[in-house]
Every structure is written in C-alpha cells, then in structure tokens.
Amino acid sequence: MDFSSFITSLGTSFLVFLVLMILFTFLRSKPGNNVVYYPNRIIRGLDPFETGYKSRNPFSWIIEAYSSSEQDVIDISGVDAAVYFVFLSTVFIILILAGIILLPVLLPVAITDGGGKKQSVSKGTFNELDELSMGNITASSARLWAYFIACYWISLISLFFLWKAYRHVSFLRSEAFKSPDEKPEQFAIVVRDIPPVPEGQTRKEQVDSYFKTIYPEAFYRSMIITDNKEVNKIWEELEGYKKKLARAEAVYAGSKTTAKPEGTRPTNKTGCLGIIGKKVDSIEYCNEKINELVAKLETEQKVTLKEKQQNAAIIFFSNRVVAASASQSLHAQTVDRWSVFDAPEPCQLLWPNLKIKYFQREMRQYLVYFIVALAIFFYMIPITFISAFTTLKNLVKLLPFLKSVVQISALRTVLEAYLPQIALIVFLAMLPKLLMFLSRLEGIPTESHVVRAASGKYFYFTVLNVFIGVTLGGTLFKTFKQVQDKPKDVVRLLAESLPGNATFFLTYVALKFFIGYGLELSRLIPLIIYHLKKKFLCKTEAELKQAWAPGDLSYATRIPSDMLIVTIVFCYSVIAPLIIPFGALYFGLGWLILRNQALKVYVPAYESYGRMWPHINNRIIAALILYQITMFGYFGVQKFVYAPLLLPLPIMSILFGFVCAKRFYPSFQNQSLEVAAASALKGVPNMELMFRAFIPPSLSSEKIDDDLFEDFEDARSQVSRSTSFV
Amino acid sequence: MDFSSFITSLGTSFLVFLVLMILFTFLRSKPGNNVVYYPNRIIRGLDPFETGYKSRNPFSWIIEAYSSSEQDVIDISGVDAAVYFVFLSTVFIILILAGIILLPVLLPVAITDGGGKKQSVSKGTFNELDELSMGNITASSARLWAYFIACYWISLISLFFLWKAYRHVSFLRSEAFKSPDEKPEQFAIVVRDIPPVPEGQTRKEQVDSYFKTIYPEAFYRSMIITDNKEVNKIWEELEGYKKKLARAEAVYAGSKTTAKPEGTRPTNKTGCLGIIGKKVDSIEYCNEKINELVAKLETEQKVTLKEKQQNAAIIFFSNRVVAASASQSLHAQTVDRWSVFDAPEPCQLLWPNLKIKYFQREMRQYLVYFIVALAIFFYMIPITFISAFTTLKNLVKLLPFLKSVVQISALRTVLEAYLPQIALIVFLAMLPKLLMFLSRLEGIPTESHVVRAASGKYFYFTVLNVFIGVTLGGTLFKTFKQVQDKPKDVVRLLAESLPGNATFFLTYVALKFFIGYGLELSRLIPLIIYHLKKKFLCKTEAELKQAWAPGDLSYATRIPSDMLIVTIVFCYSVIAPLIIPFGALYFGLGWLILRNQALKVYVPAYESYGRMWPHINNRIIAALILYQITMFGYFGVQKFVYAPLLLPLPIMSILFGFVCAKRFYPSFQNQSLEVAAASALKGVPNMELMFRAFIPPSLSSEKIDDDLFEDFEDARSQVSRSTSFV
C-alpha cells in the first residue's frame, strides 16, 4: 500500500462517514422514523424531543450526548452502560495524554534522524510514514531514549487512570445497590447441587427444612427449579397462535372496507409452512388451537411442577443482609453439595443450566476452554490464508471477470486499500454466536455471566488471531521452521514483524470508526429493515413494536472489538505514534455516539451492576503487558542495550492487576454487607411480589399460582412473625 | 561407606534403640517418674494406670496404643492429633502396599540382571546394595518396564489413599464442630482494618453501630483490641513476684526444722540478677513489690482500655450460624476495611498482630517469603560445606587430637557412618525458632496459623536444602559451570546424583527412627531435666508442675521432618526399593510411639480442628511430584525410550491437588453453615462467659471487669430479647 492509497482510504472512509451523518440528520427529523432513532424514549413513554434543544439543529445530539451526566445514563441504561462509558473515557484520556507528549516529541526525533540502516514501516512503499516512525531511528542511537521514556509514560498513565476508573466503578456499584427500590434478586439466593431427596420427603420439604434450620427467622420460602423444556415449548406454541390470531383479526378488520363491509375472513393451510394441507379459516383455527393448547399447558404446568423438579432451587429471604450473607457462605461441608450464589435478575437466570452438577460444570468449563484454545490455534491457518489471498492481484486471478472493474484506477485504489480489512471484519462477525453458545455450554447460570465469558473468549480470539495472526501472517510461513527450532524467538519475531503492518492497522482503526460508528449512529440497516417489515409483514401493533425493538448494547462483541483497538493502539503507540490520534478519535467519537445511542436507542437487556469491569480492567492490563513485551523485543531489534530496563514494566502491570484483584474484586463477586444493610432499613418488602418475579412466564397462570403457592399462607404468617423483630 | 559400616550403623542404631526401650520399661515403672511418663493423664486428673493392663508388662503400652480408638485420641489430644495420626497411617499404608509389590518384584529383577554398564548406588564401595537397585539394570533393557510400572503403582495408591484421608479428615472436622459443648470461638468473629474513628464517636460506638446495623438481632457486643504491651509487662512482673513470694515462703517453711522452729527468713539482693545491691528480706520485699505492682497494673489496665484501643475488635454474636456466616462475608466495599475472619480459641489469638493493616500484612507476607527464599538459597552453601567437611578424614585434619580416638576401629566405623547425619540434624534443629519468628512477623493473627506457616517454610527448607542439597552437594561444585550453561539440565543432574546418595539417606532414615523415636518414647532428656530441676531448683508445687509440663506435639517441626522422610522414601522407592521397609518402619513405629505419647504425655496447646491437613496433603503431593520428575529424569539417564510416558503422572498429581483444593479446602477455610446449624439447636449459651473467655489474663481483674463491661446490662437485655425469637 503506497501513500496515495492510504490517503484514499482515509478520504473515502471520511466521505462515507459524512454521507451517513447527513443521512442521519435528514432521516432523524422525519417523525415516522422516531421509533428507530428514539425507541428507548418511546418505550419509557417519553416524548422523543422533550430535551429542550431544537431537533432541527443537526448537531443537537452532540450537545445532548455531551451534556448528559453519568446519573442520566444510569437512570436510562443502567450501571452496565455507565461502566462502559467509564471504559471509553478512560482509554480516551490515556490516549489524549499519550498523544500530547508523544506526538510533538517523537515525530521530530524520528524525522530529523537521517543516517543509518532503516526499518520499513510500510513494506518499503510508503516512505512518508517510515520517516515518522521508530524504524527511522539509527540503530543503538541515543535518540532511542526518547522512545524508552515514552514506553514508561504510556504505562504509568494507563495504570494511574485504570486505578481511578476501578475505584469509580466500585463506587458506582455500591451506590446502585444502595438505591431504595427493592429488587427481587436482592432477597434471593440460588442453591445448586442439592443432594438426592431422602426417603419420605418431597424436594420442597427437603429444601425448606434445610434452610429453615440454618435461617430460622429470615427464611421466607423456596422455589424449586423445574425442567421447563416441555412447558416452554407448549407456551411458545400458544404465544405463536395468539400472535397469528391477532394478525388474522387485523387482516380481517383491514379487509372490511366501505365497499365490502363484511370483509374477507383470512384463511391458511394447516400443513408445513402453510403451503400444503387443508385450507381453514384462520381465526377459527387459531381459536381452536389456543383452547387446545391452554388445556395442554395447564396439564403440563402441573406435571412440570410436580414431577420435573431438579436439584436446584431459589431461596427467598425476608431480609437483604441475610440474603447477601447467605450467598457468600459455605453451606455444606463439601463444595459439591448445596452450593449457593446470589440470585441474578429473574430474566437473567438460565434455568436449564442450574441442574448441572458441580463436577460436571467444572469439566464442561475446561472442555470449553480446550475447544476454544484449539479454535484459536487453528483459526490462525485460515486467517493467514485470508490475508494472503485477499490482495487484489490474487482475487483477479481467481475471479477473472473482476479484471474490467480493476482497470478503473480510483476503484482499484479503494479496493486495494479495503479488501483485507473487510475480509477480516466479515470473518470476525461469524464468531460471537459460536462463542455465546460455547459459554452457555459451560453451565454458567446467568445471562450476564455468559456474556462476560463469551466476551473474554472473543478478546483472546481477536488479539491472538487478528493482531498477532495478521502481524506474523506474512512472515509466518517462511519463518515457520525457524520458530520451530527456537520457540523463544517468537517475541523477537513479533517485534520484527510489527512495523511492517503499521499501515494495515492504521486503516483498520480508521475504517472501524468512520464506517462502524457512521452506521451505528445513522442506524441505516435497522431503519431499512424496519420500513421493509412495516410495509410488507407487520399487521398488528405488537408485530410493529417487535420490528423496531432496539436490542441492547451487546457487550459480548462490542467490548472485545474495542479491546482489539486498545491492543493495536498500545502496541503501535511508540513504534508509529501517528496511530494515537486515530485511537483517540475512535474512543472519543465512540463515547459521543454511543452516549446518544444509550440515551435514546438501546434498551438494556439486563443489569449486572458493572460486574464486567474487572474483566475489562484485566484485559486492558493484558494488552498493556503485550505492548510492553513487544516493545522490549523491538528495542532489542533496534540494538538498544538498555532494553532490559523495560522489564520492570510488565512486572509492574502484573502487580497492578494483582492488587486490583485483591482490593476491588471481592466486592464485584459478592455484595458487601454494609451496602446491603444500608438499603435494608426501609422495612420489609412485599415478599409475594419478589417471589412471583422469579416465576418464568411459561409457568405463571392464575390457576397454577394457587398450586405453586400451596404453602403461601404458612409463609406469609412466617414473614409477619419475622418482620416484627426488625 | 562400605557394606560393613552400613551394617554397623544399622546395628548400633538398633542397639541404642533397645537400650532406650529397656530404660523406658524400667524407668516407667517407678512411681516417681509418673509425671514424666503420664503427665497428660495426671493433668486431667486420671490415674496413670487405670487402663486395665498391668503396667509391669513391658509391652503393655504397645497394646494400649494399638487398641486405642480415634475417638480416644480426639477426646484426649484433640482433632489436630487425630489428623496427625491419619497422616502417619496414610503414609504407612502407602508404603506397605508399595513394599508388598515392589520388593518381591524389583529386587529379583535387579539381581538377575548381570550384563551391561552399571550405575553405582553407593559410590562403588557397597556392591551388595548396588545389585539390588535400579542402577544394576542394563541401560534401555526391557526390564525397566517393571520399574516403570512401579512408578505408576506408587503414584496411584498414593493418590487413592490421600483422597480417602482427606475425606476422612473433613468428616472429623465437621463432627468436631457439631460437638455439643459451646466454645467461645464459635460465637465470635475478629474484625480488622477498622477505619479511623469518626468525629464525636468512640471506637466502641463506631464498631457497635456498624455491626448493629448489619446484624440487628444477633449482635451481642464487641471487645476492642488494645495494645497490651505495657500492661502485659507489668502483669508478667507481678506474676514473677508472686512466684518469688511463693518460693520464699516455701524456703522459709522448709527451714523451720524441729531444731530451729523459727526458721531463717530468706533474703535476696535487689540489684542485677540478685548478685549486687541491697540485701532485703525476700518475703517482705515481694509483698511490697506486689502491692506496688497491683496498683500500677490497675492504672495501666484503665489506661490501656481507654487510650490504647486499636483498629481491630472481636465481635460476639448470640447465634452460632450468624457468627459462622459473618466470618465468611464481605463486609465493606473494599477489602482493606472491616475485614473479618473467624475467631480462633482465645489463647490462640495474637493480639499484637491484629492491628496491622491490610496492605502492610500483604507486604510483610511477601517480604518474609523473599527472606525465606533467600535463606533457602544461601543455606545451600553452608550445607554443601558441611557435607564435604564432616567426613572423618577432614575432621581429623581439623582437630588432630581426634586421631587417637579414630584409631579404635569399631568407633571409627560408627563415627564414619553417623557424622554427616548428626551434623545435618543439629544444623536443622537451629531453624524452627527462626521460622516461627518470621511467620509471626507476617502478621498472621492466630497461633495455629503461625505454626502452619512455619511448618510450610521448614518443609521447603528441608526438601530443598537437605534432600536436593545433599544429593547435589557432592557433584555441585564440579558441575556448577555446567548447570550455569544449561539450567534445564538440573533435572537430569539430580537424577544422576540420586543413586550415589541412597545409602546416606537409608542410614538417615534409620537414625531418625531408631534414635529419634527411642528418645521420644523413653523421654530420657525431659526425665533428666525434671529430676535435676526437682532436686536443685524447684521449691513450690507450681514450680514442680512447670518442670514436668509436657508441652505439645510441636507440629511446626515434627510434620516437616516427617515430610522430609516421605520425600526421601518416595524419591528412592523405585531406584533403591530397599528404602521402603525403612520408611514403613519409620511411620509404623512413629504411629505406635506417638500414639502412646499423645494419649499419655503431650497436652495440646491449641485446637485448630485439623486445619493443617490441607497443608500436609499439598506437601505430600509436592513430594510425589518431585519423585515423579526425578524418576522421569532417571529413566532418561537409563536410556529408556518410553520415559515420556511418565509425564502423565505429575500432571495427574497436580490435577489431584487442584480437585482437592476445590472440593475440600473451602470447609477448612470456613465453617459450613449446616455444621454450625447442627449444633446451634441447643439454645442460647451464657454469652457473658463467651465474652470473658477472650479477655487476656493481664486485663482481667474484678475491678476492671466492671469498667470493661460498662454496657453489659444493655447487652444482656438485648440477648434476652433476641433469644425469645429462637
């Protein structure tokens, strides 16, 4: 890639970004698009434009996003979103402070160094960038001290701001717990690995007597986890027919024009996909089916509650402090019986995973780790092929019809600049589903934990495969033998290959933020899908609502891909400081655009009170250590004899991570009692509501409730007894 | 060392053992020695001979020891002693099963192999042992498969019996907790790192309000930890004078003979060591001093309680389950405030260590680890010198007067056989004090934990310095350069040096059990000391009692030195299977003799409910891994191409350790709630007694108690309120 193709790539990225921004400004002002641009506000029943600024002003969203406070974000999108912004702003400030020092110092140092052997930053074709980078410095020159100090500067400010961020997030978490509204999860714990039921007892009696013995006063009641596979299936079928009925009624109502006031009753075929089979009246058919399924559901609900009880339960306490304390305590003598954890939000609890036994969970975990490690290792091979094949020259060879396209010079330049990056992005888009599936397979009991686990896997995947894979890709095959002989030379090899890929990653970062954030803000794809659905598919209000449902911030993929940028920018920050402004722009723009999205678009799927911060923190530290080690290698390549003086840096980072884990992590794992007690002073909540919140929709029905609550009167009398003590 | 000196050494050991046994049988039957041979029984007020067997029968103690049940040991010496016997019997059964298979198989295999190059087991002078060992096998012979299978056999039975033992100890621990007698430590937790006192509050108010908020019902009261240095000093001085007074009165009473009925009043000098200074009447002087000190103590007690309060406290709960749960819960949002742990027995609590802050504790810990690591590393050097110098030839050169002694041939043989071992044992005897001191410096808050920490350090010390040090000692200097070049060759080097030291360790083990256990059983040294003290020093009953106070089993040194034997026997078990019977004898005899001592002699200093088992287990696994790795190296030396098939063994051991830690360790760290609840059904205990048990002797006095208990009435009314709920 030469200089002109680099500039072209930047230019086109920027152009696309501008076009998307104009589209955004234009489309946003149409009231018909409000459900796409303000779904969050609409769902919460707010006026989309109530914020005081004229929405005609194309930059109003910037002012709104910038002036919104952290508390606004917490109120609207929850603590998790606020923590995500802490992450963005922390990296942003680190990069700004890095840029302020590094750019004015390192660039002149590099340009004015004329002599000596030079290392190419752009495979010899892009001399302008070469002159700005560390490769331009004469080997073992005293000028390397400037780069050396830069390494320390970046490491130290990173650790400083990470520490501040961790403290702040810890504070946010405790404040959120202290909030006065009573959440059902704060009064419950989940117990797994319940031993087999003893003779002559039911599961419920076993669980109740166990916990009543330990918590004679605070125990409220228990809910046995059941195998809901069958009942869920019936319930979903029922819901499907209910939707179909609503749709058929809407179609019928729609067909009652003034010309034909009786309308046409919609029909459908009962066979596969509605294509074959007997033709029936839809409304009648659905009504019939619904009646049939309601009866079936009732029977199945009873069967499930009675006969499909599993070895897990949710335990409710009438006291928050006791619940918080119970979730942290060892209940049985061995860990593989009566193991407990704090209940998550009801919607987050993964019922099917609760029955998995302790050692099976452990086994599954290691099995999944093993599979992921294998996948990471073997993905190297296709990735290397991709980055080798997706050059234009190779593509023309494979697909000869492209030849005529390629002859247009401008298009050729653009294609040349973007092809490898696009291939990479498409490739990475396929992964998250697989990783979410694998994480769920581990037996993790809550949704947010699954997301964190998948996000962690995705991070190592991208860093190892994209960053190291692409970096080493070109040189890997020819040096494969060499590596086999001396595996310890990997660090040196990585350090040598880094500069050659600086432009690749520069354009990668630029593409990510111009195109990625442009699409994010303009919501072009959701908009098109919404309008297509509205026009051709949706008949009922509920269907329409589903068509514009905004989803959540999807941390599972968002955080790892941000993390990849962090890793890339850290690793190149000193070698080619020109990447720093790009990185800063990525996180600055990201903060602004996602703030807008968090306030107006996305609806959080769950709340984990910032539990992902320790993971983010650890991964930033991992990126920092990778950066410090490659810099150590690169200083070695540059024949800088004081390179070993860099070794305190990775040690410092490891220590920092260790201190963070010691000091802050426990309160992310468990709720501290002083926090639980702080909000426990509000009296006893309505425990019945707390209990009902955990009943899955497929099991809740008026009739069943009585059955499920057979001991409710007992429990209530118990509560009133224990409340009198508080 | 040649064959005759080996036999001589065994023979003399055995002779000494026999002599000690005869002495034991003889001395034990004298009633005057009862306080030396049955102190445990006397202290508990039992008749020493009540066990049904005639004490005249010299082997009665064997039958008594053998027929005693585990429950007897627990009743008399506590769970810790019972766990120690589980350790001895586990190793014993492993060695018996190893010997049954290995000896009949491996010895013939070795003897009948005639050809090929031979590796010396005894530095070429002791051919009989050579022929019985693995070194006799032709290199890369198919006979090595027998040794290979032996490696697996020993590893597998070790893991199997360790698993059984861990499960059994876990059971013992939970049973002990369930015992109906109420122990003060079960109703208390210790809190450290209390933040600074807020304006306008006292420390006590701060602590009380914090815990009352969290545990409004179960909180009973708190005891603030004070700096007792000053008050302890005064109290000890006071106790000293009280003893002196009793002694002076006894002397005075003794001097009242019929000839001189008024007696002579004893006198002493007030100056340094009673040698210089004014001569005074002892009884009067002591009485004066005591009155003076009692007043001083009272003032100091008040000052201590009011002004020397530290940032730590003991919190008492009126409910065992709440106390157990509280000790496991996170109280504050960050770990360095309000950190809690379960209270140990009152006598175990190290008050001075409680005030050390969280991060200082961490720092101290790593500092101590660093010092110990340095010490381990640099002790290698003197140890190497010792094993080089303590040959007879060298000694004669250094101390020429020994020459005449050495000319007596029999004595010469004995000296030659034992000198290096005796030097080693003396050397190791100096260590424990230092290690206990270092462990206390870490800031560990309980006595039993300090013992465990010291015991761990001692283990690594002995294994690294004695075992590896002695093994490599001879070859270390000449191959030092070699090691420096290729550090990965250490395993090979160790494997090569092992066989050369087989006889050294054989005699070491024999010495340990014949002489060590002989002295242990006969209690010759305590007996002599007791009789000397009784004759020349003791005047009062209390002094006499102190003279025969038996002490405890002193796990801090006993376990590591047993562990060293385990390591030695494991590592040589396959190379020179002849060591197995010696090892089995060590643990079998040890079990029998220490059983006798535990039942009749030692008095446990504390009870940690078997918390040392995880440490023992981990260290046996460490020994096992060392054995497996050296065997891997030794098979390599023997040019056995299938040696890599041994690598699953260390992996299996590591996994085993990991599974044990996951499954069993949590209940050793914390008390499980089901166990706490099982014994909590007995109603509310006398909380005042629980509280008073934790008052250190130097702070407890009638007058002070009122002061200390100023809020006692409050607390009692609170208890009566909370009891009504149970």
pLDDT in tens, A589-631: 999 999 988 888 888 888 888 899 999 999 999 999 989 988 8
* Of A476 and A133, more confident: A133
CA distance linking residue B419 with residue B395, whole number of Å: 10
Residue B273: the pLDDT is 62
Among the partner-chain residues B210, B331, B664, the one whose CB lies closest to the CB of A334 is: B664
Exposure pattern of A226-261 as b/e (b: 16+ CB <10 Å)? bbbebbbebbebbeebebbbbbbbbbbeeeeeeeee
Question: Does the beta-carbon distance from A664 to B331 stay under 8 Å?
Answer: no
In contact, A568 and A509? CB cutoff 8 Å: yes
Judged by a CB distance cut-off of 8 A, whether residue A330 touches chain B is: yes
> Is the model's pLDDT at B511 over the cut of 70?
yes
The H-or-E segment that residue B225 falls in is strand B219-226
Which string of DSSP letters, residue by residue, matches B333-394? SSTTSSEEEE---GGGB-HHHHTS-HHHHHHHHHHHHHHHHHHHHHHHHHHHHHHHH-SHHH
CA distance linking residue B126 with residue B8, whole number of Å: 13
Question: Does the beta-carbon distance from B674 to A725 stay under 8 Å?
Answer: no
The whole-chain average pLDDT of chain B stands at: 80
Of B41-45, B46-50, B265-269, the range with the lowest mean pLDDT is B46-50
Diameter of chain A measured on Cα atoms: 92
Residues in chain B within 8 Å Cβ distance of A321: 214-215
Judged by a CB distance cut-off of 8 A, whether residue B162 touches chain A is: no
Q: What number of other Cβ atoms are within 10 A of residue A53's Cβ? A: 14
pLDDT band at B155 (very low <50, low <70, confident <90, very high): very high
CA distance linking residue A405 with residue B615, whole number of Å: 72
Provide mean pLDDT across the span A249-259. 78
Residue B87: the pLDDT is 95
Which residue in the block uniquely carries the two structure tokens 């006590």? B204
Closest CA relative to residue B512, chosen from B427, B580, B585: B585
Judged by a CB distance cut-off of 8 A, whether residue A661 touches chain B is: no
Closest CA relative to residue A413, chosen from A12, A124, A121: A12
Closest CA relative to residue B502, chosen from B70, B110, B217, B223: B110
Of A42-56, A275-289, B550-564, B652-666, the range with the lowest mean pLDDT is A42-56
Structure-block tokens of residue B394: 């060298």
Tens of pLDDT, residue by residue over A321-334, are: 888 889 988 888 88
Q: Tell me the three state secondary structure of residue B403.
A: helix
Residue B432: the pLDDT is 82
Judged by a CB distance cut-off of 8 A, whether residue A724 touches chain B is: no
* Of A679 and A665, more confident: A665
> Is the model's pLDDT at A683 over the cut of 80?
no
Which string of DSSP letters, residue by residue, matches B592-652? HHHHHHHHHT---S---TTTTHHHHHHHHHHHHHHHHHHHHHHHHHTT-TTGGGGTHHHHH
Return all residues near A286 (Cβ < 8 A) that are at least 6 apart: A241, A242, A244, A245, A248
Return all residues near B268 (Cβ < 8 A) that are at least 6 apart: B274, B279, B280, B282, B285
**Strands of the sheet with B188-192, listed across from one edge:** B219-226, B309-317, B188-192, B339-342
CA distance linking residue A715 with residue A695, whole number of Å: 17
Provide mean pLDDT across the span B260-284. 72
Provide mean pLDDT across the span B192-214. 89
Give B216→chain A minimum CA distance, Å.
7
> Is the model's pLDDT at A123 over the cut of 60?
no
> Is the model's pLDDT at A715 over the cut of 60?
no
* Of B337 and A50, more confident: B337
CA quadruple B111, B114, B118, B124: dihedral, nearest 10: 60
Among the partner-chain residues B328, B333, B663, the one whose CB lies closest to the CB of A675 is: B333
> Is the model's pLDDT at A91 over the cut of 90?
yes
Out of A413-417, A521-525, B344-348, B640-644, give the one with best mean pLDDT: B344-348
Provide mean pLDDT across the span B17-29. 85
Predicted complex: ipTM over 0.85: no
Of A425-434, B398-407, B622-631, the range with the lowest mean pLDDT is B398-407
CA distance linking residue B95 with residue B83, whole number of Å: 18
Judged by a CB distance cut-off of 8 A, whether residue A336 touches chain B is: yes
Tens of pLDDT, residue by residue over A275-311, are: 666 777 778 888 888 888 888 888 888 888 888 888 9
> Is the model's pLDDT at A169 over the cut of 90?
yes
In contact, B620 and B158? CB cutoff 8 Å: yes
Question: Does the beta-carbon distance from A330 to B670 stay under 8 Å?
Answer: yes
Exposure pattern of B627-650 as b/e (b: 16+ CB <10 Å)? bbbbbbbbbbbbebeebeebeebb
Tens of pLDDT, residue by residue over B164-193, are: 999 999 999 988 888 777 788 888 999 998
Give the phi and the psi of residue B139 in degrees, each rounded to 5: -60, 145
Strand partners, B648: none
* Of A229 and B407, more confident: A229
In contact, A167 and A144? CB cutoff 8 Å: no
> Is the model's pLDDT at B79 over the cut of 70?
yes
* Of B712 and A355, more confident: A355
Provide mean pLDDT across the span A48-68. 69
Provide mean pLDDT across the span B561-579. 88
> Is the model's pLDDT at A720 over the cut of 60?
no
Judged by a CB distance cut-off of 8 A, whether residue A612 touches chain B is: no
Give the phi and the psi of residue B225 in degrees, each rounded to 5: -75, 135
Provide mean pLDDT across the span A251-265. 75
Residues in chain B within 8 Å Cβ distance of A325: 325-326, 329
Residue A385: the pLDDT is 64
Percent of chain A with pLDDT strictly greater than 70: 79
Residue B381: the pLDDT is 65
> Is the model's pLDDT at A650 over the cut of 90?
yes
Structure-block tokens of residue A304: 């499930």
> Is the model's pLDDT at A479 over the cut of 60?
no
Residue B682: the pLDDT is 63
In contact, A286 and A248? CB cutoff 8 Å: yes
Q: How many residues does chain A have?
A: 726
Exposure pattern of A143-180 as b/e (b: 16+ CB <10 Å)? bbebbbebbebbbebbbebbbebbebbbebbbbbbeee
Q: What is the pTM of this model?
A: 0.79
**Helical ranges in A51-202 per DSSP H:** 60-67, 70-111, 127-132, 144-178
Residue A88: the pLDDT is 94
* Of A725 and B690, more confident: B690
